[in-house]
Structure formats: C-alpha cells, structure tokens
C-alpha cells in the first residue's frame, strides 16, 4: 500500500515537472521559427534588392543603347546636312573659279585634272553589295567636278580642301550623349582595290585614243574571263542532275557582270611601280612620326617588306573569281598569317603616346602639347598662341552665350562668323602661327589607316592627301625632290591665301593680275579689317562688330545680316589646277624653288625632263581637287557610362545628280 502511494506521488511529481518544463520548450521552438522566418525574409529582401538593381542596370543599358541609337541617327542627319551645305557653298562659288578653267598656256590632254568631284564614279567598280540602288548610270557623261582638259584644267565643281569646315574636329551633344565627329574624304587615300590605277607607266605615253582602246580591250578580256570562270563554277554547283542549271548559271553570270568590280590584271611593271609607291609612302610616314616625337615602342618592319606584302595580298584578293573586293582596311592584319609581315597596332593606328588622364606630351619642336580627351583621342594645343586671339575668342563666345539667351540656341548670328552658325560653332578652332602667315595645325601620329581606304573614285585629292601619299605618287622624282614637293604642299595648304583689295576683287577672284604671286587662278582673300583675326575673318566681324551686334540685338536688320556669311571656312591655300604647284616653294628662282614652269624644254625621255614636267607626268592622270566619297568617324559616349562606341559612316556625294547616298555603316569594337 505504501509502495503504491509512493509510486503515485512520484508520477504526480513527474507530471508537475513536465508541466513546468513545457513553456520553456515551446518558447525555444518559437524562437527557432522566428529566426528561420527572419533568415528567409532577409534572403527574399536581398533577392528583391538584387533583382531590382539588376533591372535598373539593364534598364540603364537599354536606355543608353536607345539614346545612342537616337544620337547616331541625329548626327548622321547632321553630317548629311554639313555635306549638303559644303556642296552648296562650293556651287555658289563655282562661277568664280570657272573663269580660270582655260588659263593661257595650260597643258592639255585628257584625264589629268578633271574634276573637283573626281568625275562621275563608275558604280560598277564598287564592291558587290555596296552599290547605291538609286544610281543606275555608270561611267558615261562629263566629269562632275571639272573639265575634260588635262592637268592644268581648273576645277569647276566641288572643291574640297584640308582646312575647310567639313574636315575640322567636331562634336554634338544629343540628350546627354556626346558624339565626336571627324569627317575625312576617301580621295585622300590609296584605295586597296585600285592600287594599280595610281601609277603611270612609260607605255602611258601612247595617244589617248590608243590608250582608251587598249583599256577597253583589257576590260573586255577580263569580263569574258570572269564570266567564263563564274559560269563554270555555277554550273558545277547548280547543274547536278538538273537540265536547267546551265541556263540559270548564264542568267546569274549576266547579273553579276553588271554589278561586280571589274578586274583588269596589272602588268608586272605596274606591280613593281605600286610596290615602290607604297614603300615610299610608308617610309615617309615613319619618318614624320619620329621627327614629331611619336616614337615607336616596337620594331618597325621594313617599309619595302610591308609594301610588297600589301601589294601581294591585294593582288591575290583581287585575282579571285568571286569575293574579290577588300571591304575593310583592317584586313591588312592578315599579312602576318599569309606573308609573315607583322602589322602591329602602332604601325596600323600610329604610335599614339600612352597618356593617363591629366598627363601631357610635347612634340619635338615644343610648339604643341597633347592630352587625351574623353574618347581617348589626342588633342593638340598650340603653346605659342597669341593672347589677343585667345581673348577675342573668349569675348565672342560670351557674346554668343548672351545672344543665345535672347534668341535661342539655334539662332544664326552672322556677325559672329563661324561661331554664329549652329553647323560650325562646335568645330575646332585653330589659332594663327607665330608669324601670322597661316594656321598652327598640330601634327598627329600617322598609321596605315591614314594611307588606305577600300571605297573611293580611284583618284587622289591634292588638297587633302597627307604628305606620304603625295610623296608616294611622285615616282619620277628622286626621293629628295619628291619629299621637297610633298612637304611643301603640306605647308602651303596651312598658310593663308594671298590678300587682294576690294578693287582687285571687282575684276574677279580668279582673274586678277596684281599681287606678289603669279596669277594661276588660285583663290585669294580680302585684306583683314582692323581688330580682325582668323576667328572672324571673312565677315564684318571682330570685337567691335560683336559688341555692336549685342547693342542692337533687339532691332537686327535682317536684310543687312543676310548679306553676311556665317558659314566661313578658313581662308587657307588650296589647289584648283596643277599649274598652281609652282607656288608651293616660291617663285624667286632660288635653290629652294624646285618647280619652275618656264624652265627647260619638253623632252620625250622622262629622265631628261625638269622636276616640274616630271611632277605633272606623275600627277596629271590621278589628281583631282574635290572628293566623291566621305567617311564620317563617329564616337559616342554617354554621361553615365565610360564606354566609347565607334563607327564609320561612308557617304557617296553624287555631284552630277546632286544627291548624297549612304554606302556603308560599320560599327567598330574597342
């Protein structure tokens, strides 16, 4: 009995103990559940935050892409407008140069100086797939930019020169997207698809009728060979078990012959001359880079080896029965794989100094300093800048800002010169050199990309071609003579035109006989007015005029302002006929005066001719004074992204039909 009671008491005590322990156990479990829920909540919130951040970044990227695409479209339209305005300016002044089209004593003969626009391009010579659909007529007709006369003929069409507004560094901002614009004409470069058209051989002294007949025979032979090869290839592919394959192949051949680039194999003499031309150009390119302090960090291959490899590569590519056009200059990087000649990036792009943000680089003469801009490009600044020029520039920019506050950002203010036109106000401003004879243009490193292109009219614009290209063309001159001409052409284009008074101008710009230079139809400028610099040259401008404009802003005389020109190009020298080459090194007959027009007699043997006659021989068949194809290099950078996107827009200016056509857009990787 006692034992039972004892056991009962023990059970009661155990139950009481269990009742006392239950709340503590439950609270522990609740705490664990809360902790688990907290961890889950943290994970959910973190995931939500990550997803939100990711969506924000993706949205930012999409917005940036959309903004970039919109900016590209807007800037492409701006580039087309700029080209149209430039053409309009050239057309309006064509009457001035037309009077110089038949100068006394001009050498005659077909082909030579025809064309400010390079003549009507043969659209069949464009790479397949790049032929503008609207342009149907190939070949025929008179040259669009000049006369049919020879090297001395003046250009009567568009004239493009190195320091006109079209080719200055430019920039635009569209909805927070910065776009840098650099337009270059393709006629300043050697076309890799047409290298053999730039050299003139001894057999070219045939009569023009014989030469034209020989060229037509070669063209027809090449067309027949291409047709036969292509037909055989298509028959092999399409006629397997099909009776209609041959007929289909013939139709395809007929279609291909109307659009593909006709290939006339050059002679061995022409190939050797092209190799020499390229070797000279590459040699001078390397020399100029080193003279300006742009040193190469890696060994530069022999210019002869590079030239031979380029000519061989282009010859092989063009000799193929199909896909025989080179579409990108970057194909030159293939030379190492095929010929063992390494084209390093600094040889292709130029030896650009590796500058950190804020660093400076000085070229050898200590006249220019260089920094890198937000796009990674070199910007040169003239160190010997005239303080008066800088003060006037600052003053006029302030006047522009005040005027825009009253009349809007897109108002046109002719009395401010180039700053007064929305098309030109963001363009690069070049100061005068120390002796005020021209503009101080900073030299930049040159690479193979600055010597070659893949789409052009097959001519060279003497007004824009870099010195190495001009040097390469002058194969009849010695290396010393050719370098003298090429470098003096470069310097001549950076100097101001000779001044003429208003009384002289009344007789016509191209016909005046007064002045210190022989009149060969070269463009001349009016004397500057007091307190006027290159910033406002050409219009009724200067600091006093800008101040007067501000004082009368509320009552501008529209008729008076309409007589002023707000689209003002720099008034530097350029060529409109080949005879003007005698002006590049003076006319005093001294030792530095190499090109003398009146010296010597015409000799049949080229080696006995004077430097002037040999220069005409080399240039008269290939030189033009205006351009047909233009490449607009566009670099895009948004305010919220450090990335830079780059692309090239190639435009064809059809001067004969007065239209612009977009040929190609190529986005580049950086």
The pLDDT value recorded for residue 187 is 96
Q: Is the pLDDT of residue 185 over 90?
A: yes
Query: pLDDT tens for residues 372-392?
Result: 888 888 888 898 887 787 888
Give the pLDDT mean for 283-302.
93
Which has the higher per-residue pLDDT, 580 or 68? 580
User: How many Å from the N-terminal Cα to the C-terminal Cα in the chain?
Assistant: 100
The share of the chain scoring above pLDDT 90, in percent, equals 31
Q: Is the pLDDT of residue 95 over 50?
A: no
Number of neighbouring beta carbons within 10 Å of residue 383: 13
Q: What is the CA radius of gyration of the chain?
A: 34
| Residue of 382, 392, 387, 394 lying closest to 533 (CA atoms) | 392
- Burial string for 583-608 (b: 16+ CB within 10 Å, else e) reads bbbeeeeeeeebbebeeeeeeeeeee
Quote the CA–CA distance of 621 and 20 in Å, as a whole number: 113
Q: Are 125 and 135 spatial neighbours (Cβ–Cβ below 8 Å)?
A: no
| Residue of 21, 41, 43, 22 lying closest to 33 (CA atoms) | 41
Side-chain-facing half-sphere of 480: CA atoms under 13 Å:
2
pTM summary value: 0.75
Q: Is the pLDDT of residue 207 over 60?
A: no
The pLDDT value recorded for residue 58 is 80
Task: Please give the structure tokens belonging to residue 521.
Answer: 């139809």
Query: pLDDT tens for residues 528-585?
Result: 655 444 444 433 334 444 444 444 443 344 444 444 566 788 999 999 999 999 999 8
Torsion of CA 274, 280, 281, 286, to 10 degrees: 150
For the chain, how long is the longest CA-to-CA vector?
A: 156
Q: Are 449 and 329 spatial neighbours (Cβ–Cβ below 8 Å)?
A: yes
| Residue of 76, 584, 322, 605 lying closest to 597 (CA atoms) | 584
Q: Are 138 and 119 spatial neighbours (Cβ–Cβ below 8 Å)?
A: no
What is the pairing mode between strands 452-453 and 190-191? parallel
| Residue of 492, 500, 513, 485 lying closest to 573 (CA atoms) | 492
Which has the higher per-residue pLDDT, 639 or 405? 405
Residue whose entry in the numeric block shows the structure tokens 């033009």: 624
| Cross-strand bridge partners of residue 352 | none
């Amino acid at each position: 009995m006692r034992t039972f009671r004892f056991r009962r008491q023990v059970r009661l005590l155990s139950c009481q103990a269990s009742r006392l322990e239950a709340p503590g156990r439950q609270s522990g479990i609740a705490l664990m559940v809360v902790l688990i829920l907290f961890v889950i909540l943290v994970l959910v919130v973190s995931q939500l935050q990550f997803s939100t951040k990711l969506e924000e970044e993706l949205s930012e990227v999409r917005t940036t892409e959309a903004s970039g695409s919109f900016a590209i479209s807007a800037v492409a339209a701006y580039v087309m407008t700029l080209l149209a305005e430039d053409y309009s300016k050239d057309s309006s002044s064509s009457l001035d140069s037309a009077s110089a089209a038949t100068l006394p004593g001009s050498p005659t003969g077909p082909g030579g100086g025809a064309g400010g626009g390079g003549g009507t391009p043969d659209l069949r010579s464009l790479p397949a797939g790049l032929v503008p659909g609207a342009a149907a007529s190939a070949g025929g007709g008179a040259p669009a930019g000049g006369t049919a006369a020879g090297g001395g003929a003046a250009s009567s069409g568009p004239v493009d020169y190195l320091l006109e507004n079209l080719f200055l560094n430019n920039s635009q901002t569209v909805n927070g997207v910065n776009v840098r614009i650099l337009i270059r004409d393709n006629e300043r470069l050697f076309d890799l698809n047409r290298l053999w058209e730039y050299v003139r051989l001894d057999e070219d002294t045939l009569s023009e009728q014989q030469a034209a007949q020989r060229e037509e025979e070669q063209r027809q032979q090449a067309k027949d060979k291409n047709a036969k090869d292509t037909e055989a290839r298509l028959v092999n592919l399409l006629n397997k078990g099909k009776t209609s394959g041959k007929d289909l192949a013939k139709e395809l051949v007929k279609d291909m012959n109307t659009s593909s680039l006709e290939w006339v194999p050059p002679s061995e003499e022409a190939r050797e001359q092209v190799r020499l031309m390229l070797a000279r150009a590459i040699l001078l390119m390397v020399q100029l880079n080193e003279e300006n302090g742009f040193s190469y960090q890696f060994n530069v291959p022999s210019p002869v080896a590079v030239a031979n490899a380029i000519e061989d590569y282009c010859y092989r590519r063009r000799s193929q029965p199909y896909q025989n056009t080179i579409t990108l200059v970057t194909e030159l990087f293939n030379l190492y794989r095929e010929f063992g000649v390494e084209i390093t990036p600094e040889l292709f792009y130029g030896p650009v100094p590796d500058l950190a943000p804020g660093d400076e680089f000085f070229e050898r003469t200590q006249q220019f300093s260089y920094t890198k801009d937000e796009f990674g490009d070199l910007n040169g600044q003239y160190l010997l800048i005239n303080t008066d020029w800088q003060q006037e520039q600052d003053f006029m920019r302030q006047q522009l800002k005040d005027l825009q506050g009253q009349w809007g950002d897109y108002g046109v203010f002719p009395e401010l010169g180039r700053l007064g036109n929305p098309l030109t106000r963001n363009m690069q401003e070049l100061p005068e050199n120390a002796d005020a004879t021209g503009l101080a243009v900073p030299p930049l490193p040159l690479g193979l990309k600055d010597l070659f292109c893949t789409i052009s009219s097959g001519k060279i614009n003497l007004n824009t071609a870099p010195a190495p290209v001009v040097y390469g063309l002058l194969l009849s001159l010695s290396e010393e003579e050719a370098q003298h001409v090429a470098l003096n052409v470069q310097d001549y284009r950076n100097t101001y035109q000779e001044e003429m008074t208003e009384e002289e101008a009344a007789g016509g710009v191209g016909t005046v006989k007064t002045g210190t230079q022989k009149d060969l139809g070269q463009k001349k400028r009016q004397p500057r007015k007091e307190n006027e610099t290159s910033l406002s040259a050409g219009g009724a401008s200067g600091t006093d005029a800008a101040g007067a404009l501000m004082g009368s802003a509320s009552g501008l005389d529209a008729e008076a302002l309409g007589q002023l020109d707000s689209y003002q190009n720099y008034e530097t020298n350029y060529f409109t006929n080949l005879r003007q080459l005698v002006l590049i090194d003076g006319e005093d007959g001294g030792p530095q005066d190499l090109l003398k027009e009146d010296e010597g007699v015409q000799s049949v043997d080229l080696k006995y001719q004077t430097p002037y006659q040999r220069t005409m021989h080399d240039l008269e068949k290939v030189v033009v004074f205006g351009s047909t194809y233009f490449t607009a290099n566009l670099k895009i950078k948004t305010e919220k992204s450090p990335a830079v996107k780059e692309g090239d827009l190639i435009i064809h200016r059809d001067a004969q039909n007065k239209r612009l056509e977009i040929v190609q857009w190529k986005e580049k990787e950086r």
